Amino acid sequence: MKAIFIGIIALFLAFGSLRADTLVLVYHRFGDKRHPTTSISLDDFRRQMLYLKEHGYRVISLSEFLRFLKNRRFPDKTVLITIDDGYKTTMKAARILKEFGYPFVVFLYMEAVDRYPDFLTLKQIRKLESWGADFGLHSYSHFSYKELSRMKPEERRTFIEKDTIKAEKRFFRLLGEIPLVYAYPYGEYGDDLIEVLKRHGFVAAFAQDLGAVCNCTDPYIIPRIPVVGGWSGMKRFLRHIRLRGLCVKGMKYGIVNNPLELSLSIGGSYDRCWLYHTGEGWRSVPASGSFSEKICVGSGRERVGIRCVKNGTAYEALWFVTSGGGSCR
């Protein structure tokens, strides 16, 4: 009887791990009043790190995250901390992270680091490495994929290929290793960019789409919770830290033609669901099964997504879109 009971508990724990989610946080600048829209105060950052510790969250390393992603098993209450660009203010955050013993990932803007005044020097990058940081690629030129949408497809692929090769070479010269993970500049991406990353051996790529990582997450469109500007305070942090991942089939992302016709299918059954689009706000959609919607996408940096609620818990999936042409009339 005891053996059966232990077996049931083990099965329950295994099942729970399959259903759990991992949260990925993304920061940019720290305590930088010159750039309030992309910065977080050091007081708020420390409070957030303390909250994770006091409420039983485990901050994981990049290697742990990639293992969970590969196995599609995400232990409950796990968090990956990422920092984009490689500004010098990263050193302020790193000292706090070192106090807590938290690993973290810095995605480097390769044209800028060890060159431009506001960015990390190689000496600082080495110091971060000794404090437990891993590093990924954030492109060479920090291009906007939205702006590349104006190019012809072949020109765009050529640009992305050259930028990636240039970034990889400089990354290797500075760090002596080949990058395995990539963070999209401005959180913008599309099929051709993803294809280049796959061909170059990247195993995962990170967006800036609100949501949590779950067992249906595309490894090349990993959602991250932006903690910047108006979203950097504790009130917003506490709301986002409770988000769960949502499985949605049929999404179209990147460069799309108007009108965008979506045939979406929501995995699971919820109390209520809403479709979101940057230009149109929220509208109710069926809380389970499949449905179709039309959206008029602008040429800006836009998001489409689904939010569902069940028993008071929010589940969310967002993705990036920008117009490649076409009329909504």
Domain assignments of the chain as residue spans, ordered by start: 2-243, 248-326
Rounded (5°) CA angle 295-298-301: 110
Name the superfamily (CATH) of residues 248-326: Immunoglobulins (2.60.40.10)
Closest CA to 83 of 208, 188, 240: 208
CA distance 223 to 206: 6
- Beta bridge mates, 266: 248, 289
In order along its 329 residues, the chain shows pLDDT tens digits of: 334 333 433 433 333 333 479 999 999 999 999 999 999 999 999 999 999 999 999 999 999 999 999 999 998 899 999 999 999 999 999 999 999 999 999 999 999 999 999 999 999 999 999 998 999 999 999 999 999 999 999 999 999 999 999 999 999 999 999 999 999 999 999 999 999 999 999 999 999 999 999 999 999 999 999 999 999 999 999 999 999 999 999 999 999 999 999 999 999 999 999 999 998 999 999 999 999 999 999 999 999 999 999 999 999 999 999 999 998 87
Tell the CATH topology of 2-243. Answer: TIM Barrel (3.20.20)
Q: Which residues lie below 8 Å from residue 304, measured CB to CB, with a gap of 6+?
A: 251, 253, 260, 262, 275, 276, 277, 278, 295, 297, 318, 319, 321
Task: For strands 313-326 and 302-310, give the pairing.
Answer: antiparallel
Q: Which residues pair with 263 in a beta bridge?
A: 292
Q: Name the strand (E) or helix (H) holding 81.
A: strand 78-85
- Six token digits for residue 320: 């990036």
Separation CA 16–CA 82 (nearest Å): 25
pLDDT number for residue 258: 94
Q: Closest Cα partner for 320 from 308, 307, 304?
A: 304
CA distances from 189 to 157, 196, 252, 285 (A): 12, 11, 11, 26
pLDDT of residue 279: 83
pTM, rounded to two decimals: 0.92
